[in-house]
Amino acid sequence: MTKEIVLEGLKKLLTNEQINVDADDLYDATADRYKKYAKAKKVLDNPSPCAIVYPKNSSEVSDLLMFCNQNQVNVIPRSGKTATEGGLENWKELAVVIDGKNLNEIVNIDTYNMQATIQAGVALQDLEDELRKVGYTTGHSPQSKPVAQYGGLVATRSIGQLSTLYGGIEDMVVGLECVFPNGHISRIKNVPRRAGGPDIRHIAIGNEGTLCYITEVTIKIFKHFPENNKFYGYLIKDIDTGIKVLREVFTNSYRPSVARAYSEEDARQHFYHFHKDKCVLIFMAEGPQAIVEATGAGIEEAVEKFQEGIIEQVDSSLIEDWFNHLNWSQQDIDDEVEEMINNDSHSGYTTEISADWATVSQIYDNVIKRIRSEFRFADDLTMLGGHSSHSYLNGTNMYFVYQYTINCEPEDEFRMYHHPLQTIIVEETLKLGGSMCHHHGIGKYRNQWTRQEHGSAYYMLETLKEAFDPKGIMSYGNIYYQEDAAKYQQ
């Protein structure tokens, strides 16, 4: 099999407009944001895919997958391209990117049954804009909202900034359609709940392109009451105080939509105009008036209880204003590329983990200590901190954020900085029983630890791969460790 034969094969399945072999676009499809710096500097050394294809419906997706499966061609499903963990990076000589650009129809908005059906290539922002016109919201608000699309959002098990009220994507998906490597199309029907065996939605949700191609999704929608929003902000003594207040609020069954605690360093990035070098705790209460009032009271009560750690309350309009400036647009993403090319710097990286209430602060401290003492280029760090932004009844997440002066060639950047830093974070988290990936997915650079993450349950994960993708053509290297590709990780 050669690239030429792959292209010949694709031409039999699709029209010419549906096949893109533009050199720049193929380069762009070679990696994602994990290697954003090397990519911007045009020094990527992993192979580019042979083509990017744009199927128009699930039956075309089915044909494409069958063709690739028969010919052992790697398939990389693609949506909004905001992947951060190498999910879109290619490690195979023969690879095709299946992009959801033409699967862009909002199929149905059903306000009576409170659900909407969209094809996988619909941008979250577009659906949100449609819903807002009629007084509804998706409730899903990742920072990549203006760019990310439903296929990717579901495939990565994404979560939004309002998750503590609306949930993560897994709480929103009602049913979906997906296509397997053998060409089989499965539709999971939309029902309120069922006890019909294991919940098979979860085979598609979070599969990161390793088991199936998601073509359509039906999600819940919510009534929107933006006029009732109330904001709360506090400067606090330390991040642990923040975590304690968060726990108090959630274990008392309140559900503010935003609930976050920032370390001093991370607070500076967001709140330089008022944080006074302190940690910051913020909340937003959302929903019907009475719920907002009650939630607000719950927040104030929790803050009161941990008063000794609270330094002062912040003008709530500052928090509201911050909230309205949070998301990254495509322009922001392009601008960072510009920054990398011209200024040899970037906006840093992040690694997100989760753990129960009892251990999360410990993990945070261990990570920071170990990075400071052990990371070889700790001197180059210009910022190291984190925040908790998604809380649950039994615990919360920690979103580590780090920036550094890049004192190396672009080719070496990920292995000198991001990867060793991420390694420390993952190891410290697993050591204390947390999860190494809260919402970005495993991608390609945390697959070394997938076995450890899942322990004896890895058997189930492994068996899914064997069953649905026996030839291993789907997103080679995502989630599952691949010995042969280790060279790309070192």
Partner 1 sequence: MKIICLVKFTPDVDQFQYDYEKNILIRENVKLVINPDDACALGFALGLKKKTPEVVIEAVTMGPLNVTAMMADILRRKVDLATILSDRQYVGSDTYATSRIIGKYLETADYDVILTGSHSRDGDTAQIPGQLAEYLKLNQISQIRKIDQPSMLNKRALVEVDSEKYLETYEIPLPAILSVGRESNYRLPFVRYDDLDLDVSDRLRIIDNDSLAVDSKKIGLKGSPTKVIKSYPIDYQKKEQVIVKNDDQGIDMVMAFLEKEGYL
Partner 2 sequence: MKKKCLFFYEEDQGNYVKDLLEVARQMYGENFESYALVINPLDVNVISGFDYLLAVKDQRLKDYDLINITSLMAECQQVYQFDAVIVLATQLGRMLSPRLAMRLHVGLVADITAIKSHPDGTIEMIRPAFEGKLLAGIINDGDGPTMMSVRPGVFLDQQSTAKIPEVLACQLQTIEDTGMRRISQIRKPDSRDIRESRVLVAGGGGVLKDFDQLDQLAQALGGMTAASRRIVDSNKADRTIQVGQSGKTVHPELYIALGIYGALQHVAGLNKVKHLIAVNTNIKAPICSLADIVVEGDAAEFVRKLTTRINENKQAE
| Interacting residue ranges for ligand FAD, rule: CB under 6 A | 33, 76-84, 87-88, 100, 120, 142-144, 148-149, 151-153, 155-156, 158-159, 208-209, 213-214, 328, 332, 335-336, 339, 347, 439-440, 475, 478
- The site partner of 272 among partner 2, ligand FAD, partner 1, none (C-beta below 5 to 8 Å per kind) is partner 2
Is residue 25 close enough to count as binding partner 1 by CB under 8 A?
Answer: no
Q: State yes or no: residue 318 binds partner 2 (CB under 8 A).
A: yes
Q: How far apart are CA 79 and CA 242, in angstroms?
A: 36
- How far is the C-alpha of 107 from the C-alpha of 476, rounded, in Å? 31
- Residues counted in the chain: 490
Pick out residues in 266-295 that bind partner 2 (CB under 8 A).
Answer: 269-270, 272-274
The window from 47-55, 143-151, 222-230, 404-412 that contacts partner 1 (CB under 8 A) reads: 404-412
Tell whether residue 407 is a contact of partner 1 (CB under 8 A). Answer: yes
Residues 169 and 201: their CA atoms lie apart, in Å, by: 11
Contact between 415 and partner 1 per CB under 8 A: yes
Q: Which is nearer to ligand FAD, 124 or 279 (CB)?
A: 124
What burial letters (b/e) apply to 69-92, b meaning 16+ CB within 10 Å?
beeebbbbbbbbbbbbbbbbbbbb
**Binder to partner 1 among 408, 430, 464, 485 (CB under 8 A)?**
408
- CA dist., res. 50 & res. 444, Å (int): 20
Residue 255 to residue 392: CA distance in whole angstroms: 10
Residue 317 binds to partner 2 (criterion: CB under 8 A): yes
The yes or no reply on residue 382 touching partner 1 (CB under 8 A) is: no
Contact 295, 252 (CB under 8 A): no
Q: What are phi and psi of 166, to 5 degrees?
A: -95, -15
CB 137 within 8 A of CB 222: yes
Coil, strand or helix: which one is 212? Answer: coil
Contact between 323 and partner 2 by CB under 8 A: the answer reads no
Of 16-24, 130-138, 145-153, 318-326, the segment contacting partner 2 by CB under 8 A is: 318-326
Answer for which of 15, 16, 307, 343 binds partner 2 (CB under 8 A) is: 343
Residue 475 touches which of partner 1, ligand FAD, partner 2, none (CB < 5 to 8 A by kind)? ligand FAD
Residue in 331, 405, 452, 463 binding partner 2, rule: CB under 8 A? 331
Smallest distance from the beta carbon of 61 to ligand FAD, in angstroms?
9
Contact region with partner 2 (CB under 8 A), list: 117-125, 171-179, 241-249, 332-340: 332-340
Of 277, 335, 409, 484, the one binding partner 2 (CB under 8 A) is 335
Partner touching 409 among partner 1, partner 2, ligand FAD, none, CB below 5 to 8 Å by kind: partner 1
Q: Does 114 bind partner 1 (CB under 8 A)?
A: no
What is the four-CA torsion angle of 21, 64, 105, 163, rounded to 10 degrees? -100
Q: Is 95 exposed, middle or buried (0-12, 13-18, 19+ CB in 10 A)?
A: buried
Which of 264, 244, 286, 265 lies closest to 395, judged by CA? 244
Q: C-beta of 215: minimal distance to ligand FAD in Å?
A: 7
The whole-angstrom separation of Cα 162 and Cα 148 is 16
Element (H, E) at 382: strand 381-388
Positions that interact with partner 2 (CB under 8 A): 269-270, 272-274, 315, 317-318, 321, 325, 331, 335-336, 338-339, 342-343, 345, 347
